[in-house]
C-alpha cells in the first residue's frame, strides 16, 4: 500500500500542535543576572498574542514555541584572530545567552 503524503497544511497543524504543548521548567535571566523580562509572543497568525512576565529563578509552564524563543535569545561573541598566513579575520566561537529555560520535562 503506497504511503500517503501529508499536505503542507496538515504538517503545519501538527507543528502548531506540538509547539503549543506546555512544558514545566525554570527561567534563567542572564542579562542582567537575576533580572526579569516582559514580552509579547505570537508565532502563528491564528494564535492570540500572549503577554509574559518571567522572573529569574521562577518555575513556569510554557509552550514549547516560547521555550525555543527564549533559548535562542543571544548573540555571537566575535574575536579578532589570525589565520595560518597571519592575516586578520573576525572569528566567532561562542554564543552569549540572554535567557535560558531549563525544562524539567523538555527535551
One digit per residue, the tens of pLDDT, for the chain of length 107 reads: 555 657 888 888 899 999 999 999 999 999 889 999 999 999 998 899 999 999 999 999 999 999 999 999 988 877 777 778 888 877 666 888 899 999 886 44
End-to-end CA distance of the chain: 34
Say what the pTM is: 0.76
Predicted pLDDT of residue 105? 65
**Is 11 a member of any domain?**
no
- Residue 68 and residue 105: Cα distance in Å, rounded? 14
Number of domains in the chain: 1
Main-chain phi, psi angles of 2, to 5 degrees: -70, 150
* Residue written as grid cell 504543548: 21
Residue 65: CB atoms within 10 Å: 19
Structural domain including 28 reads 21-103
Predicted pLDDT of residue 19? 93
Tell me the three cell numbers of residue 29. 535571566
**Is 43 a member of any domain?**
yes
Predicted pLDDT of residue 30? 92
**Is 10 a member of any domain?**
no
Amino acid at each position: 500500500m503506497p504511503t500517503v503524503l501529508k499536505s503542507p497544511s496538515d504538517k503545519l497543524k501538527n507543528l502548531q500542535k506540538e509547539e503549543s504543548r506546555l512544558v514545566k521548567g525554570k527561567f534563567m535571566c542572564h542579562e542582567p543576572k537575576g533580572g526579569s523580562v516582559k514580552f509579547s509572543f505570537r508565532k502563528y497568525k491564528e494564535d492570540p498574542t500572549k503577554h509574559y512576565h518571567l522572573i529569574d529563578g521562577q518555575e513556569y509552564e510554557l509552550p514549547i514555541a516560547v521555550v525555543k524563543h527564549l533559548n535562542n535569545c543571544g548573540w555571537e561573541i566575535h574575536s579578532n584572530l589570525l589565520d595560518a598566513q597571519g592575516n586578520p579575520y573576525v572569528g566567532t566561537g561562542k554564543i552569549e545567552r540572554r535567557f535560558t529555560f531549563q525544562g524539567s520535562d523538555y527535551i
